[in-house]
Amino acid sequence: MPRLIARDPDARPALVPLDASQRASLGALFDGAGSGVVVLGAPGTGKTALIVAAVVEAVTARGVAVDRVMVLTPSRRSATALRDVLAEHLAAAQPDIALPGPLARSVAAFAHALLSAEARARGEEEPRLLSGSDQDADIAELLAGHEEDGTGPAWPEHLGADVRRLEAFRTELRDAIARLSEHDWTTERLRAGAATHGRPEWPAIADFVDEYRLVLGGARAGQLDPAELVRAAADAVPRLRDVPGVVLPQLVLVDDAHDLTPAGIDLVLALAAAGSRVLVVGDPDVATTGFRGAEPEALGRLASALGGGDAHPYVLDTAHRQSAPLRALTALYTQRVGTAGAGRQRRAAAGHDDDAAPLGGALIALTASSPARERALIADLLRERHLIDGVPWSRMAVLVRSGALVPPIVRALAAAEIPVRSTTAGRPLREHPAARALVRFVDVGVGRSPLAADAATELLLGPLGGLDRIALRRLRRALRAEEVAGDGVRPADELLVEALAAPDRLVTIDHRTARQAARVARTLATLREQHDAGATVDELLWTAWSDARVADAWNAEARGSGTTAAEADRALDAVTAVFAAATTIVDTVPDATVDTFLTRMLDSDVADDLLAPTRLDEAVLVASPAAAAGVEVDVAIIAGLTDGLWPNQRLRGSLLHAPTISRVHRGIATETLDERRLVLDDELRLAALAASRARRQLIATSVAGDDDRPSALWDALADLAGAGPAAETVRPRRPHARSLRRLVGELRRRLTDPTSGETVRREAAAALTRLAAEGVPGASPDDWWGLGALSTTAPLFGDDPVRLSPSKFEAIEVSPLDWFLDRIAPEEGNAVMGIGTIVHAAVETLTDPSVDEVWAAIEARWSELVFDAPWLAAQQKRLARRYARGVADYLRDAAAAGRVVAAAEQRFEVEEGRAVVSGIVDRIERDAEGRVRIIDVKTGKPVTDATARDNAQLGAYQLAYAEGAFDEVLDALGEHTADGARLLFVREGRAGESYREATQPVLDADALDAFRERLRQAVAAVAVAQLTGARVIDPFGPPGQRRHSIHRVPPVTGDR
């Protein structure tokens, strides 16, 4: 693949001078015997440079028409990069040249072009590509139909229905279908091979493939998957010479041929047989697509097929990219790979002297104690190379084993304010929040998915909706308030759906949150109208995107630095990829509908190959080795060389054994084959490919702790670096900060630390002044909180009475500051709190002690609750059933004891000095002898009687009784006396009971006086100008004590 480097748009590229081995290969191509040559070369030996030079010489010096030249690569991404390089060099060599089209194509794209040309010449319908996502959807639908109808192949017992529903099963099934197409196997041959090679899965695969092709032939006529497309093209080439209007290339050049599939190899050979001159370059030691059926060992066989007789591949002998230490490591990895039929390229010599001394050496091996510390270490290394050693961000890369490991690295680097780039490839677009949000707007807007409560919530909370959970809760409450005011009983979910279905529904709520929701409603209405009028996919996507009004904000954020900038950048990339996907489906499936696009985007587990634009600015590349093929950087960091992670020796294809089809086809004795050795070879190829990206320095990192140790790949690098596996390789933290945020923090600590000397403080102040002048956030004292004058020094209550709530009284005793903050900025209510309210109502009003009646009362109001997730709703409903049992049992026992409800939800107010205690008692009971018991209902975990004796809430209730606050309701029932107060816990009891009571005995005169003193102390604690807070909050205490309310004050958190 070509080197991907930034170029001056006004500069004309010059061809890289060829070495002797490259010139010999080029001469053999144009002047040698046979139909072509195979050239092997280690990474960095100039294989792509050879192809570029061959194209330029063919067009400018050998008389080959530019439209008769074709460069093939295994992937679209590499073809796209290479076509730009070819165009630049041809334009530089011959400025007046006119290119008829792309000079480089993927093998699949070239195969499609050949078959399309034949179809046009014959007046037939052109073939269309069946995408991986569409194929996966077809397979999933067919498997689901088999399970539902009880039909389909007789799968072995270990491949039951649960297994067949897995994405991994469908992936292997797609792989098996591809292998059959690659090798041109019939299903009968697969059945015959099942018995011979002991594969009980193969007959079932054959039966499935027969039905799959029958169904697909009717439902997707003219569509071919990539393997079928290339196989069909290889078979078609011999007859294409006689088809008018179809012109085969005169010169075919194949880059990265080690990743060609068998059908791709057959296509190249067919072109050679048809008269094309062929150059094939590759290195079997860095093949990355063996799991897709690539046969790197075929390069050795290709040489004799193209050159005739006993022809051997040409070998490039100089690795121009790497110095001796780097080349030694790459060679060490490749030497451990099986020969793959050709190993002479491993002897390539280093192409330049070691120039990594200023960086600390060409090879460095480091460890960290955890994955998080490993990522922090990587961030420090990158920043050090950039700031101190002057290495541009774009000349550095972090390489991890697979694409799944890219996001954590990207997030860590972004958090460290390091510019980073990666691609959206490797996982379905719907897994990117911005992409999913955009597609879901269209999905719901056109009516493919109903506008239900969960969809409404998803749209509003998504990146394009603009609401957070607090804002959504506020909107739901406002809708419910309007409903209740109109004597309605509909739940908030139903009201929210109604609001988004009718854009004008929210005009009565004058709040920013409602206006944002109304914008979402208008977007959905517009999408419905456009879809009914026949709008295309890209038009609908544009409506959803433009109406969101986030483009300017995201672009501004992306131009910044840090986590926010990285998130905005990834979001913009994902949105761009969605539009690219829409364009692709329109191009490849002309009759595709909006539903076709939505199904592919939202229902498929397979990531399609998209060529969405990606960032090429100054940023560190984070990628897998396969995604970094063709990339050259000065500094490469290979991360995650931890035992069990890389190399990962888990066997591939263990469900259906699709790779065995290829081995049987090639005549390999599968019975004696060491499959783990083959997996290890693939892991070594990945390591060699990663190591060969570095030009000056290669750094390997690993986790080394109690449960992790570096892998053999890390050990090999450490040995070459001179560290050795037992050496101390944990990098000490440098004394100076490597980021502006960290530097500002260190300087501010020095400035404000009372132990700092005067000189240290002056230097810190001077440095902060310089940083502030440069606009660095946090450097100027104007950005520091706590330096302004107090807004007031007046006491909180002055001479006014202090109103206290019984339920909040103890909060004052724990932390007056937290009590105050909770008073002025109370927590938003949630569903769990709502359950308590419903249970309280049941206890206060019901007299029927049956569980069914209690549960009916709770369930009647259940729809009022809104949960953040279905699992939480299910969990809380199970708890609520326990509450119902506890309530019912208590009501039954209270009735049996002769206690009746004297009052429920009884309000009271008592004045005691400056304190005004006011509240609501859940339940007041009176027995036949006039004893009055005060009940406070709790749905939390029970407390002991000892705790209840000092409970301030119960004490306040008993004080209210003693002061006659309840006499008005109790006197009407006759004489009465105090019987104490109780906390009623309906969640769980003891000794098999469903509820539990914690009792506070009757407070005598002394106890009441003691409680009055507590009131006076509470008033004294809050009727002041400065409130004290708890210095240490018990982490194992109740939630009210664990909550640091001070962080809800914006100036404390820095949120203006």
List, for residues 435-480, the tens digit of each pLDDT value.
889 999 999 998 888 999 889 999 999 899 888 888 888 888 888 8
More confident residue, 736 or 324: 324
In the structure, how many helices (H) and strands (E) does the chain have? 40, 22
Q: What architecture is the 20-126+228-316 domain classified under in CATH? A: 3-Layer(aba) Sandwich (3.40)
1032 pLDDT band, cuts 50/70/90, is low
Q: What is the pLDDT of residues 849-887, one digit of tens each?
A: 788 888 888 887 777 776 767 788 888 888 888 888 988
Q: Which residue matches tokens 């539009």?
A: 579
Q: Please state, rounded to an integer, the average pLDDT across all residues of the chain.
A: 83
Contact 986, 1031 (CB under 8 A): no
5 pLDDT band, cuts 50/70/90, is very low
- Mean pLDDT confidence for 225-247: 88
Integer Cα distance of 385 and 634 in angstroms? 10
Give the per-residue pLDDT at 609: 54
- Mean pLDDT confidence for 132-151: 84
Q: Which residues contact 286 (CB under 8 A, 6 or more apart)?
A: 43, 258, 334, 629, 685, 688, 689, 692
611, burial (CB in 10 Å: exposed 0-12, middle 13-18, buried 19+): middle
Q: What is the pLDDT of residues 573-586, one digit of tens each?
A: 888 888 888 887 76
pLDDT at 726 over 70: no
Contact 747, 768 (CB under 8 A): yes
Beta pairing class for 396-399 and 620-623 = parallel
More confident residue, 653 or 761: 761
Give the per-residue pLDDT at 443: 92
Residue 762 φ/ψ, nearest 5 degrees: -65, -45
- Return the amino acid letter for 1048: R
Residue 380 φ/ψ, nearest 5 degrees: -60, -40
Integer Cα distance of 171 and 652 in angstroms? 11
Q: What is the pLDDT of residues 61-76, one digit of tens each?
A: 998 999 899 999 988 8
Q: What architecture is the 429-603 domain classified under in CATH? A: Orthogonal Bundle (1.10)
Integer Cα distance of 635 and 699 in angstroms? 8
pTM of the model: 0.72
> Which residues carry a binding-site annotation?
41-48
- Return the amino acid letter for 805: S
Token pair listed for 931: 């004893």
What angle, 0 to 180 degrees and rounded to 10, lies between the N-to-C axes of helices 563-588 and 594-603?
A: 130
Give the per-residue pLDDT at 617: 65
911 DSSP β-pair partners: 916
Give the per-residue pLDDT at 277: 92
pLDDT at 1041 over 60: no
Give the per-residue pLDDT at 939: 86
pLDDT at 696 over 70: yes
818, burial (CB in 10 Å: exposed 0-12, middle 13-18, buried 19+): buried
1042 pLDDT band, cuts 50/70/90, is very low
pLDDT at 346 over 80: yes
285 pLDDT band, cuts 50/70/90, is confident
148 pLDDT band, cuts 50/70/90, is confident
Beta pairing class for 694-703 and 802-804 = unpaired
Q: Which of 136-150, 192-206, 808-822, 1040-1054 has the lowest mean pLDDT?
A: 1040-1054
Residue 580 φ/ψ, nearest 5 degrees: -65, -40
More confident residue, 46 or 1049: 46
Q: What is the pLDDT of residues 518-538, one digit of tens each?
A: 999 999 999 999 999 888 888
Q: What is the pLDDT of residues 192-201, one digit of tens each?
A: 888 888 888 9
Q: Which of 45-59, 255-269, 390-404, 866-880 has the lowest mean pLDDT?
A: 866-880
More confident residue, 657 or 609: 657
Percentage of residues in the chain having pLDDT higher than 70? 88
Q: Which residue matches tokens 């990117």?
A: 432
More confident residue, 24 or 1030: 24
- Mean pLDDT confidence for 579-594: 74
Integer Cα distance of 1028 and 1051 in angstroms? 18
> Which residues carry a binding-site annotation for ATP?
41-48
Longest Cα pair distance anywhere in the chain, in angstroms?
A: 121
Give the per-residue pLDDT at 908: 93
pLDDT at 909 over 80: yes
Contact 44, 696 (CB under 8 A): no
- Mean pLDDT confidence for 1015-1044: 69
37 pLDDT band, cuts 50/70/90, is very high
Q: How many CB atoms lie within 10 A of CB 129?
A: 21
Integer Cα distance of 577 and 580 in angstroms? 5
pLDDT at 254 over 90: yes
Cα 574–chain centre separation: 12
More confident residue, 776 or 907: 907
pLDDT at 710 over 90: yes
152 pLDDT band, cuts 50/70/90, is confident
Give the per-residue pLDDT at 399: 95
997 DSSP β-pair partners: 984
More confident residue, 672 or 17: 17
pLDDT at 711 over 90: yes
Q: What is the pLDDT of residues 965-990, one digit of tens each?
A: 999 889 888 899 999 999 999 888 88
918 DSSP β-pair partners: 909
796 pLDDT band, cuts 50/70/90, is confident
Give the per-residue pLDDT at 638: 96
pLDDT at 382 over 90: yes
646, burial (CB in 10 Å: exposed 0-12, middle 13-18, buried 19+): buried
